[in-house]
Structure 1
Amino acid sequence: MMKIVDALENKTTVYKNGEFTEYCMNSNGHQKEWAKRNADSYPRNICPVDRRPMVQKIMETDPLQQGQALACALKNKKKMQKRTDKLASKLSDSMMSALDLSGNTDDSAGD
């Protein structure tokens, strides 16, 4: 059995055992649940996808709907940016709490 991920937020450890993924929800390791999905069915080499609006596709649409297509592309871009900003903020907060760079220490020598 190979340990894949140790999630920090909900203390879940994920293991891969053969074709299935196993989740250990408790620290004692006796309470394990098998996932219902095959772990190998997902691609391992995921390349980044270009999410820019395709101008050629927009130009091929009906001229009356081109404005709507551009507005939809802009809305999707704003949604994606908001999502990435939220994830970056959460990652930054968790990294700061893990490293404890806030300067708050329990040393009361100065008081």
Structure 2
Amino acid sequence: MDEKYMMNAKLFKALSDPNRLSILDMLSCGELCACKILEEFSITQPTLSHHMKILCDVGLVKSRREGKWTHYTLDTEQVKEFQEFFDHITTKKEDCLCNSKK
């Protein structure tokens, strides 16, 4: 299987949780401290950390430490690449996999 499909499958898996989708929506407005994200959910800090680790591991989110808090932002380049991949696999094209099997 092509590596681009394997990597993007991990992104889709990361996006399969409604909390993580909500977090990405929040981060679309800019950098947020974990404490601000946590205020919007009925989850514990360790659960938030779990969600953020998944989003960071697939490259959709970047983190930086400031004192005892972690601040998160979208990795706009990775998000753009994912959008382009999704557009590519959902658009009719000459180099479609179905054409390569003929």
Verify same fold: TM over 0.5: no
Greater helix share, 1 or 2?
2
Which structure's relative contact order is higher, taking Cα pairs within 8 Å and 6+ residues apart?
2
Greater strand share, 1 or 2?
1
Normalising by structure 1, report the TM-score: 0.24
Computing the radius of gyration from Cα coordinates, the structure with the larger value is 1
Normalising by structure 2, report the TM-score: 0.26
